[in-house]
Amino acid sequence: MTKPYVFVTRKLPEEVIAPLAAVAEVGMWPHEDVAVPHEVLVEEAKKAAALLPMVSDPIDEDVLAAGSGLKVVANMGVGYDNIDVPAATKRGVLVCNTPDVLTDTTADLTFALLLATARRLVEAAEFLKEGKWKSWSPFLLAGADVHHKTIGIVGMGNIGQAVAKRAKGFDMDVLYYNRSRRPEAEEKLGAVYRPFADLLAESDFVVCLTPLTRETRHLFNREAFRQMKTSAIFINAARGAVVDEQALYEALVAGEIAAAGLDVFEKEPVAADHPLLSLPNVVALPHIGSATYETRRAMMTLARDNIIAVLEGRSPLTPVNE
């Protein structure tokens, strides 16, 4: 019997792929740092029973229509806004993601970004390397305190709660906004629910961790930034398109908020001449929330295991649309 074909959209380590290769013929895009062109993905889908894409690969109607033999799309990421899930479901294709394994790592990065933005770490490091340090001076590169301030978390899923836990260690007051109330976060972490507008008005740090959906696209618009304190620091570690970037730029330039830390952008990779990157009070990172060796391996392993389970006729471990 011929083995089913699986296409992996980036070069992943041999030892991660080996168990998959035992049950399937595996085709792999040979580059680690270059995304697979969409037309190649469509061609590969034609013969595939399973796809293992990255969060940056659009799995749209074209790919799904080409993949008439597709059983499962196992995304390497917790977010799956790159996949047309309703279209996949209609075609009977399972969609899986990689929750839990990246929660703490992404919360660490989110908090690091918050600290870096508040304490101007990137600016300070560049200042030093450029030979600009002439003397210790009272307000040299002074930033904002983090401890004992109020953090407002928008999107209180697992990562939001892990960020809240870290914030508690900094003696912060934790507010949150979520589609549904999170009693466990209220009890265990002392997080306090606020309607969106109240959270914006009361928080010193507004942290976006909500998934990108039709409802959350451009949730952070000019109006939202206007409702924040002028001293507020905005952090986005979710998806770029949850933010209207033009509105964020205008809010920063107009002094309506103080600074922003961004790990994600509407269009990735973001262009080096993007206006937001020109602002000294923006700390920008290339979507590295879950990027540690341990966590990236755990993510690829879970994506792989989802495919093996489906190919062996078992239920996937972490389905999105079952």
Active-site residues, by number, are: 239, 268, 287
- Footprint of ligand DGY on 42-71 (CB under 6 A): 55
Q: Is 116:95 a contact under the CB 8 Å cutoff?
A: no
Concatenate the DSSP letters of all residues of 289-302 into one string.
TT-SHHHHHHHHHH
- Would you say 4 or 289 has its CB closer to ligand DGY? 289
Regarding 153 and contact with ligand DGY (CB under 6 A), the answer is no
Distances (CA, A) of 85 to 56, 73, 95, 237, 308: 15, 10, 7, 22, 20
- Would you say 252 or 285 has its CB closer to ligand DGY? 285
> Where does this chain touch ligand DGY (CB under 6 A) — which range of 35-43, 72-80, 128-136, 265-273?
72-80
Q: How far apart are alpha carbons 119 and 125 in whole angstroms? A: 11
Residues 6 or more apart in contact with residue 191 via CB below 8 angstroms: 153, 156, 161, 164, 174, 175, 176, 182, 185
- Would you say 258 or 285 has its CB closer to ligand DGY? 285
Rg over alpha carbons for the chain, rounded to the nearest Å, is 21
Smallest distance from ligand DGY to CB 99, Å = 9
Q: How far apart are alpha carbons 67 and 93 in whole angstroms? A: 9
Regarding 150 and contact with ligand DGY (CB under 6 A), the answer is no
Smallest distance from ligand DGY to CB 102, Å = 6
- Footprint of ligand DGY on 87-116 (CB under 6 A): 102
> Where does this chain touch ligand DGY (CB under 6 A) — which range of 5-13, 73-81, 125-133, 245-253?
73-81
Regarding 79 and contact with ligand DGY (CB under 6 A), the answer is yes
> For the chain, give me the number of helices (H) and strands (E)?
12, 12
Q: What are the structure tokens assigned to 7, written together?
A: 């296409």
- Would you say 172 or 307 has its CB closer to ligand DGY? 307
Mapped onto helix, strand or coil, the DSSP state of residue 167 is: helix
- Would you say 66 or 288 has its CB closer to ligand DGY? 288
Q: How many chain residues bind ligand DGY (CB under 6 A)?
A: 7
Regarding 77 and contact with ligand DGY (CB under 6 A), the answer is yes
Regarding 290 and contact with ligand DGY (CB under 6 A), the answer is yes
Pick the binder of ligand DGY from 53, 157, 261, 289 (CB under 6 A).
Answer: 289
Of the candidates 143, 249, 147, 151, which has an alpha carbon nearest to the alpha carbon of residue 191?
Answer: 151
Regarding 73 and contact with ligand DGY (CB under 6 A), the answer is no
Regarding 160 and contact with ligand DGY (CB under 6 A), the answer is no
Please report, as a single letter, which amino acid is at residue 64. Answer: L
Contact residues toward ligand DGY (CB under 6 A) are: 55, 77-79, 102, 289-290
